[in-house]
Amino acid sequence: MQWKENASLKAYNTFGIDVKARYLTEVASVGQFKQMLDTPLWQNSPRLILGSGSNLLFTKNFQGIVVLNKLSGIEVVHETNEYVDLNVASGESWHGLVMHCIDKNWGGIENLSLIPGTVGAAPIQNIGAYGVEVCEVIKSVETIDMHNGVSRTFTNSECAFGYRESMFKTDEQKKNFISSVTLTLTKKNHRLITHYGAINSILAERHISSPTLRDISDAVISIRMSKLPDPRVIGNAGSFFKNPVITREHHQRLMKSFPTLPHYRAENQFVKIPAAWLIEQCGWKGKRVGEVGVHAAQALVLVNYGGGTGEEIVALAASIIASVKEKFDITLRAEVNALDERSLMQL
């Protein structure tokens, strides 16, 4: 394997944070990954598996090895008249997979169009948007133990999916490399979800009364492009914060002071509050602090204007969290993972 020393990671994280890895390499197959596990460098160094770096905030140089996941391949492993099971390598682009499935008229992930990142990152975060979470279509997740090279398949229920959560975000994430994900998608009688966000409005504007998978995908892409900055233009990791879930009693108290507070019903009598609204009410939307700030079109997105550091973004996030807590008694949590876990452990 080829190892680059003191390699810049600026091109490998969408925040565009300019930090370095002590060693940098890439793997393109399961066999190559398992071979790497036997190397002394792997066994004696801190290590980080990196997909597209779209949900990661570097706060310092990484004094170990960074492995770029380049596993590729999309394979039909089972098919009926109504469903298809796809095994997808973890290094594949998530949005590329969505486009591939739409071309095939396979339904279930069209609402997740234009979400950045790789397929391997999708189950870790249980990505979701516009009424759909990826856990709804995941059949299983295939992994490799990074200590002994043993392969294991986790069923959907074993993954312990929750709102932007999975068991891969616990200690299991530290020892399991996700090599592929198997999805079950529909071939006909698709379950079309259009009532979230502005999807229905866009379909109406386009005079579409019987939308196809592509119509829904195009609407989602249009919405996301209007709200979220392109990381190739301005550094960001998409939504930085999770939408908080509060008790019904807490929500009722807030409504007395903030009658326009938007909210959505969540599980077990809880209420979900849009974090973007909370942040905007605290005056953060569009605010710039040095070389970092909050995006002018979407308060959930923290941005790096070019020369910002991970520490500055962490400080900005902490200030936002403090003001939301003071005004609404709601504690925001970060959706983005940090290189230095101590920096965002409480965010």
Catalytic site residues?
164, 239, 335
In 173-328, which ranges are E strands?
176-186, 235-239, 245-247, 264-265, 270-272, 288-289, 292-294, 301-304
End-to-end CA distance of the chain: 37
Question: How far is residue 313 from each of residues 13, 104, 159, 233, 344, measured CA to CA in Å?
Answer: 14, 40, 31, 17, 10
Can you tell me the distance from the alpha carbon of 65 to that of 315, in angstroms, rounded to the nearest whole number? 27
Q: How far apart are CA 178 and CA 51, in angstroms?
A: 11
Between CA 283 and CA 344 the distance in angstroms is 22
Q: How many other CB atoms sit within 10 Å of the CB of residue 193?
A: 13
Beta-strand pair 176-186/337-338: unpaired
Residue 243 DSSP code:
P
Q: Which residue has the tokens 């002394």?
A: 40
What is d(CA 222, CA 265) in angstroms, rounded to the nearest whole number?
A: 26
Encoded tokens for 12: 């490998």
Q: Distance from CA of residue 217 to its chain's centroid?
A: 18
Q: What are the angstrom distances between the C-alpha of 77 and each of 88, 97, 107, 139, 335?
A: 10, 16, 16, 12, 32
**DSSP reduced 3-state for 92:** coil
